[in-house]
Amino acid sequence: MDANVLQLAKELSERAIRQAGQISRERFGRDIDMKSKGDFGDVVTEADYLAEDVIIKQIQSVFPNHQIHSEEAGSLGEESDWLWLIDPLDGTNNFAVGLPVFTASITLMFKREPVLGVVYEPLTDRLFCSVIGSGAYCNNRRMQVVGGRAISKGNIGWIQGHNVQNDRKAVRLRQHIDVNVKRMMRLWAPTLQWCLLASGDIDGIVLFNSEGDDLYSGVLMVKEAGGTVVDFEGRPFTGMNKEPYLIACHPGHKDDLLKMVRDGLGLK
């Protein structure tokens, strides 16, 4: 893996994601063009498309041989060791109803492993960035996941895929977590939850079958902030998975959070 490529990709991503975020910020709270997307009430807005276009064009101008997969545009370019994953507006449903909880996310994968993750929250002007082996930062301040207090007294983020809906196992697990921790959070902006865990503001994440362009920037962010990410069997999460079931937290909390999840699913 070429360190020069990573540095150039980092600079490009930080520049492009700020521009994409400005598009969302300028349109937030106004009348917006919006249409339905998928079968479960999801939406897409003009801001999604405009922000996506800004990011894609900049990547293609600098890395024409890299493959891109973006939330709205789909797959672009030939298969490559280098793959960009873009979610130009993570939290579109929040954005559409005037809830100020949304981000943009860019991930660069090399041979199916995340090596660069950049997340931007435009309304707070917080830029989160992680490069493999170099830590995770928010506005150039190094982030660290936190341990210490019991997981039962913590704030746990819940993330589920659009297709999960009211799957019986998911509902059962959500309820179990909800009554066994201080607070279970459902922001519907997954990348922001990953960044909150990396920055020490929440204590864990439980992810139920939610794979997409918004996943891997957050996974890298948490790992580079000293966190652990494992599947429901307790195995370290690496590579890419189309149906991931994950927990993420401080390493000292792993056993307790994993037990809580397995108890909630009725597993031994």
Are 49 and 35 in contact by the 8 Å Cβ rule? The answer is no
pLDDT value for 255: 97
The fourth-level CATH superfamily of domain 3-142 is Fructose-1,6-Bisphosphatase, subunit A, domain 1 (3.30.540.10)
Query: Which residues is 228 bridged to in the sheet?
Result: 249
Residue 69 confidence (pLDDT):
97
pLDDT at 34: 65
What amino acid is encoded at 241 in this protein?
N
Question: What own/partner pairs with CB < 8 Å and gap ≥ 24 does 27-34 have?
Answer: 28/95, 28/98, 28/100, 28/122, 28/123, 29/98, 32/96, 34/96
151-264 in CATH: which number? Answer: 3.40.190.80
Contact of 202 with 154, CB cutoff 8 Å? yes
Buried b (16+ CB within 10 A) or exposed e, 207-231: bbbbebbbbbbbbbbbbbbbbbbbe
Contact 217, 225 (CB under 8 A): no
Helix (H) or strand (E) holding 230: strand 228-231
Taking the C-alpha atoms of residue 64 and residue 219, their distance in angstroms, rounded to an integer, is 26
The owner of tokens 């000292």 is 252
pLDDT by 10s per residue, the chain, length 268? 788 899 999 999 999 999 999 999 999 988 677 677 766 657 889 999 999 999 999 999 999 999 999 988 999 999 999 999 999 999 999 999 999 999 999 999 999 999 999 999 999 999 999 999 999 999 999 999 999 889 999 999 999 998 898 999 999 999 999 999 999 999 999 999 999 999 999 999 999 999 999 999 999 999 999 999 999 999 999 999 999 999 999 999 999 999 999 999 999 7
Per-domain residue ranges for the chain? 3-142, 151-264
Reduced to 3 states, what is the DSSP secondary structure of residue 223?
helix
HSE-CB of 28 using CA atoms within 13 angstroms: 23
233 marked as part of a ligand binding site: no
Residue among 156, 205, 159 nearest 184 (CA)? 156
Q: Does 12 appear as a known binding residue?
A: no
Give the model's pLDDT for residue 40.
Answer: 61
pTM score: 0.95
Q: Looking at residue 236, what DSSP letter applies? A: B
Give the alpha-carbon dihedral of 234, 186, 139, 3, to 10 degrees: 40
Task: Report which secondary-structure segment, H or E, holds 106.
Answer: strand 103-110
Does 89 show up as a binding residue in the annotation?
yes
